[in-house]
Each structure stands twice: as C-alpha cells, then as structure tokens.
Amino acid sequence: MSVDEKTVRRIAHLARIAVTDEEVGPLGAELNAILAFVEQLDAVDVSGVEPMTSVLPMAMKKREDVVTDGGRADDVVANAPETEDNYFLVPKVVE
C-alpha cells in the first residue's frame, strides 16, 4: 500500500495536525516506511503462538464475578460535606 499526497493531507486533517506543502512529501515517505514495516510483520507465521500478557510466564489474576451491593456506602459518603440516606447532597444549580 502506498500513501499519496491526498491521503497524507487527509490523515493530517483527521489527526488535527497542521502540515505545510513542504512537509507532505517527507511525511508520506515516513508513512510508507511504517506501512512497509507492518507488511513485514504480516509475513510472520504466528500460528500456534498463544496470546500473552507478559514476556514472563504468569497466570492471570482472576476473581469470582459476583454481584454485590458493595456494603460500604457509609465509607463512600464519609467525607462528603452533606449526605442523606447514603446519597451525596449537592447544591441546586439549575432552577
């Protein structure tokens, strides 16, 4: 895949980057180099390679997925300036 000037300008617009006419050519070359590297990565055979979270062998920390009420409502609102029935009270800002 090759990136032309129109595509460079479109990418710059989407990224909200101001690109001058002099910068379009070199930026296009850089993007083409990046895409060439990605194409090289696509050529690597990764069949049979398990996904990993780290280069070190480790097990994922998992917990039981249980729905609870938290049981800590008093702790949550303890530092609030004003509360009522474990709800935060805030000043009314809209009439």
pLDDT over 90 (residue 70): no
Domain ranges of the chain: 5-42
Residue-level pLDDT at 75: 87
Q: Are strands 87-88 and 83-84 parallel, antiparallel or unpaired?
A: antiparallel
In percent, the amount of the chain with pLDDT more than 70 equals 99
5-42 CATH, one of 1.10.3470, 1.20.1260, 1.10.20, 1.10.10: 1.10.20
Q: Give CA angle at 41 (44, 26), nearest 5°.
A: 160
What is the rounded average pLDDT for all residues in the chain? 89
Residues 6+ apart with CB under 8 A from 18: 12
Arithmetic mean of pLDDT, 73-86: 89
pLDDT over 80 (residue 60): no
